[in-house]
Amino acid sequence: MMQTSQRDLWARAWAPNGQRSARRCRSTTKATTVVSAAASARDMSSALSLANIRSSLIRQEDTIIFSFIERAQFARNLPVYTPDAIPVPGFDRCGRRYSLLEYVLRETEQLHGGVRRYTSPDEHAFFPDDLPPLVLPPITYPYVLHHCAESININERILQIYMDDILPGLTAPGDDFNYGSSATLDVTCLQALSKRIHYGKFVAEAKFLAKPEEYSALIRSGDAAGIMELLTDREVERRVVERVRRKAATFGQDITENGAVSAGTGANGGTPEGMNGDRLSTAIGKWEAP
Ligand SMILES: O=C(O)C(=O)C[C@]1(C(=O)O)C=C[C@@H](O)C=C1
């Protein structure tokens, strides 16, 4: 649904009327076809192998840990999340002024949306109704997920969990006036979390394909709890949290040129004071919840 509307906006922007549109349409139609064929071969051929999905999840973990470590160097900075505390030039449809975080997030999506970020099935916008026209020709991705997957976007909930549960555990209370840095790093954290959590769609599809009869029976009887139980692997979840704890502890060390390793202090480039594997994995472990 989201892809279609951006596609329509792209077509309108590039083909508004007459002669010019006819010429542009001819050349871009060809480009679209080429992009589509290349993308299907390159990106999606093994999208539903559980082994590939798991290795992508592990890489995404690293991205989240590094972005959390970066954000943790600044204080909580509550004005960043408080609408009207900072007079940003952006308002929602009801005329409410955005918080600085909402403003930076929305503006980032305006730029990234134009270059197709949110037409990819593994990316989800926080402002899906405000996406701009594409400036690149749209890509047609092969369907690897059930078509219902397109309508699933839980970013509103991710944003809430990030602000209410993750940030307080990650940052020191108080205000250091680094509002722009905090907001831009929040965007990096949120994008990484959103991608990791929504990747659950690929996990679910891969697990469905491995046991179609069992899942179909549960779907037919409307047993949502049974489906969740079948999808859940508590041992893997425990291993994820433990791995994150160990990675965070490792990434937080200062590794010197002569090989000596010491706990990071923040001032020397390690993780900020008080930021350790346990705090990080507690904050990060919350992504298993949704
Ligand atoms: O690796 C798996 O088997 C997964 O299902 C992935 C994953 C995860 O997102 O980390 C998802 C659900 C399970 O409860 C455990 C782990």
**Residues 75-130 pLDDT 10s:** 999 999 999 999 999 999 999 999 999 999 999 999 999 999 999 999 999 999 99
Centre of ligand 1 to C-alpha 236, Å, is 6
The CATH class that applies to domain 2-198 reads mainly alpha
Mean pLDDT computed over 187-199: 97
* CA-nearest residue, atom 12 of ligand 1: 232
Band of residue 1 on the pLDDT scale cut at 50, 70, 90: very low
**Residue 141 Rama label (left phi>0; alpha psi -120 to 50; beta):** beta
In the reported structure, the alpha carbon of residue 203 is separated from the centroid of ligand 1 by a whole-number distance in angstroms of 7
- If you take atom 10 of ligand 1, which residue's CA is the nearest one? 237
Whether the predicted pLDDT of 274 surpasses 60: no
Residue (of 34, 38, 41, 43) closest to 202 by Cα position = 43
pLDDT value at 158 more than 80: yes
CA–centroid distance, residue 171 to ligand 1 (Å): 27
Least confident of 91-95, 127-131, 233-237, 260-264: 260-264
pLDDT band of residue 250 (cuts 50, 70, 90) is: confident
Taking all residues of the chain, what is their mean pLDDT, rounded to a whole number? 82
pLDDT at 52 exceeding the cut of 80: yes
The string of DSSP letters for 72-130 reads TTS---GGGGSTTTS--S-B-TTSPBPPHHHHHHHHHHHHHHHTTGGGSTT---SSGGG
Give the pLDDT score at 259.
72
Query: Residue 205: what pLDDT?
Result: 94
Using the atom order of ligand 1, give the atom closest to the CA of residue 232: 14
The pLDDT assigned to 260 comes to 66
Q: Closest Cα to residue 147, out of 10, 26, 2, 36?
A: 2
- Identify the residue with better confidence: 263 or 157: 157
- Band (pLDDT 50/70/90 cuts) for residue 212 is very high
Q: Mind listing the pLDDT tens digit for each residue in 97-107?
A: 999 999 999 99
Residue 284 has pLDDT above 60, yes or no: yes
From the alpha carbon of 53, which atom of ligand 1 is closest?
1
Question: pLDDT digits over 4-51, tens only?
Answer: 577 676 666 665 443 333 333 333 333 333 344 344 444 554 778 888
Q: Residue range 61-73: average pLDDT?
A: 93
Give how far Cα 20 sits from Cα of 109, 113, 134, 137, Å. Answer: 29, 24, 18, 16
Looking at per-residue pLDDT, the higher value among 255 and 152 belongs to: 152
Residue 43, strand partner residues: none
Give the confidence band of 2 by pLDDT, cuts at 50, 70, 90: very low
